[in-house]
Amino acid sequence: MRTTPDAQHLLEEMNTRSREVFRRVVEGYLHSGHPVGSRTLTRDMSEKVSAATIRNVMQDLEYLGLLDSPHISAGRIPTNLGLRLFVDSLLEVSPLDQHDREKLDSTLGSNERDVAGLLEQVGGALSGITQGASLVLSPKHEAAIRHIEFVSLGPDRALVVLVFADGHVENRLFTPPKGMTPSAMREAANYLNSMIDGATVSSLLERFRSEIARNRREIDALAATLVEQGLAVWESEGELQERLIVRGRANLLDEGAPAEDIERIRTLFDDLERKRDITEFLELTEQGEGVRIFIGAENRLFSLTGSTLVVSPYMNAERKIIGAVGVIGPTRLNYGRIVPIVDYTAQLVGRMLTNRRTE
């Protein structure tokens, strides 16, 4: 995690004492969930300073937008901007706990042969360890294709069938272009099958788009449109909906939490269940390696909840990003513990899927 330019500027505005006060306020809040007062800090500071001096420093930090005072005469809590600065610049990540590692490693010993089932177990383990809600974005099926077929089901409905070299079969309904005839569908399927030659869906789609660009006049326009639609459906929002696994919702619905907070969490999971904006979650995984942290409104998917998302992509043997794992929790999250857990889980899933392909 790199320090952002804004965070770097704010750090330059703070002297050694200000940084220590800020760090101790954030750490105290993350530990207890309560505002941290000046009297508490006087006992913990590395130098002997008065409560009045600390209050002045806290006021300066509040002016910078890093701290907030929820009540008059109360202590301070970090703002989302303050949490961002802390995470980017001052967070000390703990080594992965051996007990947590063993729990995650135990998913490797599962007898579950289906990839989706394995990822369900990983999501359950991740949720249980972190006491948050886990998200797992499973990979697309990228085996070589053996055969493609289009089946007309009526004037406005058709089915595309993909048979993969590993025996996997996928079916998907779609709306064909107006005027599409069964013969045009057969023509489209024959054309695609002549090009397969061990290609995956992604590589075939790229190849076909290039072919269309070179030979547009040679391909019947309706058949070309059908082929494009039949393949594009595998990268549609519907596919993303089926690929998102959410576990541990109850962990965020603490009966002792304020009603307003519970309602925000329910809003988040209602959105997830309707699969709105899930494309954003996928986009998070395509912006480089490593763990990323999104606090509150920094990600549109969580803008209404005040929640934090800690997410990391996982890769296949070719170092290509194919999915992601993450944890949703309150902004008052033990970041130093959660970050290495998410990082290790992403590496574990990548190894798990790579090993399954070589078996």
How far apart, in whole angstroms, are the C-alpha atoms of residue 64 and residue 53?
A: 17
Is the confidence at residue 218, as pLDDT, over 60? no
Is the confidence at residue 222, as pLDDT, over 90? no
Helix locations, the chain, DSSP H: 5-12, 16-32, 38-44, 51-63, 80-85, 98-105, 115-130, 182-195, 201-215, 221-232, 237-243, 259-274, 278-284, 335-358
- Which structure tokens are listed for 181? 């005839």
Q: Ranked by mean pLDDT, which of 3-7, 187-191, 327-331, 335-339 comes out on top?
A: 335-339
Give the per-residue pLDDT at 241: 47
Q: Which residues pair with 169 in a beta bridge?
A: 163
Is the confidence at residue 341, as pLDDT, over 90? yes
Give the per-residue pLDDT at 335: 93
C-alpha closest to that of 342 among 32, 125, 86: 125
How far apart, in whole angstroms, are the C-alpha atoms of residue 260 and residue 243?
A: 30
Give the per-residue pLDDT at 215: 58
pLDDT (mean) for 266-271 = 68
Is the confidence at residue 278, as pLDDT, over 60? no
Is the confidence at residue 47, as pLDDT, over 50? yes
Q: Ranked by mean pLDDT, which of 18-32, 252-266, 345-359 comes out on top?
A: 18-32
How far apart, in whole angstroms, are the C-alpha atoms of residue 182 and residue 190?
A: 12
pLDDT (mean) for 123-132 = 90
Task: Give percent of the chain with pLDDT exceeding 90.
Answer: 16
DSSP-based three-state secondary structure for 154: strand
Q: Which amino acid is at 2?
A: R
Contacts of 289 (CB under 8 A, 6+ apart): 313, 315
How far apart, in whole angstroms, are the C-alpha atoms of residue 145 and residue 194?
A: 12
Is the confidence at residue 48, as pLDDT, over 60? yes
pTM (predicted TM-score): 0.69
Min mean pLDDT across 52-56, 102-106, 226-230, 268-272 is at 226-230
pLDDT tens per residue across span 135-154: 888 776 667 888 888 888 88
**Residue 49 burial by Cβ neighbours in a 10 Å radius (0-12, 13-18, 19+):** middle
Q: What is the DSSP string of 69-106?
A: -SSTT--BEE-HHHHHHIIIII--PPPPPHHHHHHHHG
Band of residue 320 on the pLDDT scale cut at 50, 70, 90? confident
Band of residue 3 on the pLDDT scale cut at 50, 70, 90? very low
Band of residue 27 on the pLDDT scale cut at 50, 70, 90? very high
Considering Cα of 8, then 14, then 17, then 20, what sign does the dihedral take?
negative
Give the per-residue pLDDT at 232: 47
Q: Domains in the chain, please, with CATH?
A: 5-90 (1.10.10.10), 98-140+241-357 (3.30.450.40), 145-236 (3.30.390)
Band of residue 301 on the pLDDT scale cut at 50, 70, 90? low
pLDDT (mean) for 207-228 = 61
